[in-house]
Amino acid sequence: MSGFRIGQGSADVSYVALGDSFTEGLGDPHPDSGSLPQGRYRGWADRLAEHLADHAAEVRYADLAVRGRLIRQIVDEQVPRAVELRPDPVTVCAGGNDIIRPGGDPDQVARIFGHAVARLRGTGAHVVVLTGVDTGFQPVMRHLRGKIATYTMHLRGIADAHGCSVIDLWNLRFFQDRRAWNRDRLHPSPEGHRRLALKACEVLGVPVEGRWDEPWPLEAPLAWRAARQADLHWAREFLVPWIGRRLTGRSSGDGLGPKRPNLERLR
């Protein structure tokens, strides 16, 4: 496995994040989002870069992720740019938008993902692969669990074959709590993003304060009626618009570019 370890006062770090809305940071509004273009989000990748900056002499960071991107778009638009930037490390979270669509084939998506990882590893970069999340706890998304599990097993095999690290989202139990998710039930909440960044630090060997697996405070479960009302609100506000975009061939990322297209110094 390729190695990436960071210590106090270590050499400069160039970090690039690839993916879709999960990596762009949706669900975690940036503290200064009101003054930034595109409703700037923070997210786990930004938080990881900030942790890296606590230990490296200098961190240069690019986040090429764009909401709504499919695997081929990520491979065509983001991977060549990452290869050009020659970063170390690189995180890759991709394919989720393909898998949740009707007819999405996890075997085919994984093949495309594997080619992308091989190209990134060819630069000598340490590549970190993020798996799918176990959706068994979500009533509406539960039917996708088998496809996501299949894709996740492919991703673990790809990571093993190419010497990549893995952030195993499938087995992160904190994601089984509704407080880890934004109201749209597709993107982590600020707390979910914070915990995921801590897990990424653990995988990369970055010292941090706090635990990603800290138990959630006890909370009374929603009453049946309140839970159903929440489901109806979610369907009206998020599910129906998502279906509408699918039917019309639109994407939430149409017309948008990456929030950090270049390696820029952090802090």
Domains in the chain, number: 1
Establish if 144 belongs to a structural domain. Answer: yes
Q: Which CATH number goes with the domain that contains 257?
A: 3.40.50.1110
Establish if 136 belongs to a structural domain. Answer: yes
Cβ atoms of 14 and 57 within 8 Å: the answer is: no
The first and second tokens of residue 145, run together, are 């669990």
Query: What percent of the chain has pLDDT above 90?
Result: 67
Cβ atoms of 47 and 124 within 8 Å: the answer is: no
**Residue-wise pLDDT tens digits, 119-156:** 999 999 999 999 999 998 887 788 899 999 999 999 99
CA dist 207 and 7 (Å) reads 8
Domain residues for the domain of 246 are 13-265
The whole-number pLDDT of residue 137 equals: 85
Global model pTM greater than 0.85: yes
What are the b/e assignments for 92-113, b being 16+ CB within 10 Å? bbbbbbbbbeeebebeebbebb
CA dist 231 and 137 (Å) reads 14
Establish if 101 belongs to a structural domain. Answer: yes
CA dist 57 and 227 (Å) reads 48
pLDDT category of residue 36 using cuts at 50, 70 and 90: very low
The first and second tokens of residue 104, run together, are 């999405």
Establish if 31 belongs to a structural domain. Answer: yes
Is pLDDT above 50 for 116? yes
Establish if 5 belongs to a structural domain. Answer: no
Is pLDDT above 60 for 2? no
**Residue-wise pLDDT tens digits, 60-106:** 999 999 999 999 999 999 999 999 999 999 999 999 999 988 889 99
Is pLDDT above 80 for 9? no
Establish if 88 belongs to a structural domain. Answer: yes
Establish if 146 belongs to a structural domain. Answer: yes
Establish if 166 belongs to a structural domain. Answer: yes
